[in-house]
Amino acid sequence: MFDYGQSDSNVITSDRVNGTAVYGLDDRHVGTIDHLVIDKQSGKIGYAVMSFGGFLGLGEEYYPIPWNKLRYDTRLGGYRTDITEEQLRGAPARRDDWYRDRAYEERLHGHYGAPAYWV
């Protein structure tokens, strides 16, 4: 089996992304990537759904974050974002099937100042 997660590789498998820490610009831990959302047609990663808050897995909330708002930081061994806690808490309200609602996706990208992945 191939090990796509080696540090000298430019690619990584999704199972190695899940559980990876996300840090703010101040190096403070913001959350953890729970899973990725991939566009079936283009193959582009649209979102990382990030868990945030809670204690020992209880009371966590999950936020879809536009993938282009994350950059891997080798020093931290995790992803870095400029999204703040206030932005997360103020994100547009979502339904369970948010990923089927393009208008919601447009509001979400606008909220975070991120270009849409489908353009």
Does residue 33 sit within a domain? Answer: yes
Does residue 78 sit within a domain? Answer: yes
* High-pLDDT (> 70) share of the chain, %: 88
Place of tokens 């447009």: 106
Among the listed residues 53, 46, 14, the one whose alpha carbon sits nearest the alpha carbon of residue 30: 53
pLDDT band at 116 (very low <50, low <70, confident <90, very high): very high
Cα 107 to its chain centre, rounded Å, is: 16
Does residue 3 sit within a domain? Answer: no
Quote the domain boundaries for residue 74: 14-83+94-112
pTM of the model as a whole: 0.85
Over the stretch 59-86, which tens digit does the pLDDT of each residue have?
Answer: 788 899 999 999 999 999 999 999 988 8
Among the listed residues 33, 39, 9, 24, the one whose alpha carbon sits nearest the alpha carbon of residue 84: 24
Please report, for the domain that includes residue 72, its CATH number: 2.30.30.240
Does residue 31 sit within a domain? Answer: yes
What's the structural domain count of the chain? 1
Does residue 118 sit within a domain? Answer: no
